[in-house]
Amino acid sequence: MPSGGSQNDETLKSELLSLALEAARRAGALLRDGRPDDLAVAATKSSPIDVVTEMDIAAEKLITTYLSEQRPDDGFLGEEGASAKGSSGVRWVIDPLDGTVNYLYGLPTWSVSIAAERDGETLAGVVEIPMRGETFRAVLGGGAFLNDRPVGCRPSPPLDQALVSTGFNYVTTVRAHQAAVAQRLIPQLRDIRRGGSAAVDLCDVAAGRLDGYFERGLFPWDLAAGDLIAREAGALTGGRPGDRPSGELAVAASPGVFEPLRALLEEYGAWHD
């Protein structure tokens, strides 16, 4: 299906969603079925990393090849290096394997995240979670869905009853500050979770499995699809006060939890290392 400038927004969003769903399904199947049975931390030092890197790259190549065949004029931004400006005004933002360490260890919380944006606005997003058998999807203004069921974020509890997820950087000095923020935050909440995939955490906020989520150090491919899905499920998302989610800070939560949580994160300096 070639790209074209005459499509109206709804037709375009529908096409982008359909392509993202198929690309994510194919990549998810490749990662699920192609993971070596003997992939383990006990292997030689370079082997697990090399295999995972190969799987990341293979999944991204599968996604970009498929999307390029369908819409050759679109641009790309991918975690594993896919980068093309394109001429259609549409750019695909791709994380072929979000939760690489979970994947390496054989844990189920990893995902394929694909979003399509135009003029900096995400129009469609898909997060495929193969080991859960779950596909989250959304188009701008169309609500959020888990498989074929509409989803919405939880009714907002008081902050001290909120279950909130976060993630930690792999740079030791950054992790130490993030741990200090978490230590101050834990007494203010019901509890904190650490899932290991930003895209899955954002979708779990959308599905009402978490009251909130925050993280520093994310990239556009970590955020793009999950942020849209969370917003379309009724959650609020942002960064520092007045800002959009970014690498500096990303926050997503049910409406009554969002501002109190963000205020504490601001007070505790969660936006800097």
Whole-number Å distance between alpha carbons of 166 and 153: 17
If asked whether residues 24 and 127 sit together in one domain, one would say yes
Is 0.95 surpassed by the pTM of this model?
Answer: no
Reading the chain (273 residues) residue by residue, the pLDDT tens digits are 444 444 699 999 999 999 999 999 999 999 999 987 766 543 333 345 555 678 888 999 999 999 999 999 999 999 887 788 899 999 999 999 999 889 988 899 999 999 999 999 999 999 999 999 999 999 999 999 999 999 999 999 999 999 999 999 888 888 899 999 999 999 999 999 999 999 999 999 999 999 999 999 999 999 999 999 999 999 999 999 999 999 999 999 999 999 999 999 999 999 998
If asked whether residues 44 and 90 sit together in one domain, one would say yes
Whole-number Å distance between alpha carbons of 73 and 9: 17
The pLDDT assigned to 39 comes to 62
The pLDDT assigned to 47 comes to 41
From 142, 176, 211, the end of a domain falls on: 142
If asked whether residues 18 and 135 sit together in one domain, one would say yes
Q: Which residues contact 150 (CB under 8 A, 6 or more apart)?
A: 143, 144
In a domain, 149, yes or no: no
If asked whether residues 123 and 213 sit together in one domain, one would say no
If asked whether residues 103 and 13 sit together in one domain, one would say yes
- Phi and psi angles of residue 158, each rounded to the nearest 5 degrees, phi first: -60, 150
In a domain, 272, yes or no: no
In a domain, 232, yes or no: yes
Hey, what long-range contacts does 66-70 have (CB within 8 A, 24 or more apart)? Answer: 66/19, 66/22, 66/23, 66/26, 67/19, 67/23, 67/92, 70/1, 70/19
If asked whether residues 103 and 164 sit together in one domain, one would say no
In a domain, 181, yes or no: yes
Whole-number Å distance between alpha carbons of 153 and 145: 11
If asked whether residues 13 and 87 sit together in one domain, one would say yes
Question: Which range of residues forms the domain containing residue 110?
Answer: 9-142
The pLDDT assigned to 162 comes to 98
